[in-house]
Amino acid sequence: MSASRRPYATLAALLLLVLTGCSTQAPAPPEPRGAPGPQSMPASARPKAPRPAEIPALGPRTRAAIPATARQAVVVTGKARDSNRSTAVLYARDDLAKGWKAAAGPWPAHNGLEGWTDFHVAGDLKSPVGVYTLSDAGGRLPDPGARLPYDEHPRFALSGEGFFGESLEGSFDYVVAIDYNRTPGVTPLDRERPLGENRGGGIWLHVDHGGPTQGCVSLPEARMKDLLRALDPAKKPVIVMGDAKTLRR
């Protein structure tokens, strides 16, 4: 090579070194045409997001009956169709993506003397199976801090004996009306029965007196106070109630 062309050759070599850097590795081969990238990966091959948690021991029919707007649910599960003993758990759904989780309980409870029914009628001594809203509360004693509208009234006073001779006094010191055959938004003492008098009414959550009820669900007094303080009308609370076998449907 002539002396006059050497500076140009040297300059070209320097430019090549700057452009390629100091790497001695061979350049990566181009991806084959049509190779799938992260966005073009088939949906079946992508990792699936976890499903929101469901309330345990409830079947598809029962879950479908819970309104989509509900974010609190009191689940009362009877031991058997003809049993008057049950268990109550308060569930909450604050994070819709994560689903339901237990917020309080389990608590011992009583229900109707003759157990549970899908078609409650007045005087059958059974608790109605189903999902019902919870919108109003009250009691003989002053409001313990309820979030639901609370009606303190002396008409909640009760006396007499239960089915097994236990005292009924104080049973209605705290109550939450279950919206079965009643008009939501009024005191639990309201007597209107939209389905007719023959379908019964006055189905409440109330203080346990140590024995079965005529159709209500009863909880220990301390648990009723806890429930009154927890149930939030903004969370559209409901009660899911029935025997275990029926609730699994």
Catalytic residue positions, numbered: 206, 216
CA distances from 215 to 53, 129, 162 (A): 31, 10, 13
Placement of tokens 């058997």 in the chain = 80
The answer to whether 115 and 78 are in contact (CB under 8 A) is yes
DSSP E strand boundaries for 54-195: 72-78, 85-92, 101-110, 116-117, 127-128, 130-139, 150-152, 175-178
**How many whole angstroms separate alpha carbon 90 and alpha carbon 92?**
7
Among 195, 215, 204, which Cα is nearest to 173's? 204
The answer to whether 106 and 120 are in contact (CB under 8 A) is no
The answer to whether 86 and 111 are in contact (CB under 8 A) is yes
Residue 181 carries which side chain, given as an amino acid letter?
A: N
The answer to whether 224 and 190 are in contact (CB under 8 A) is no
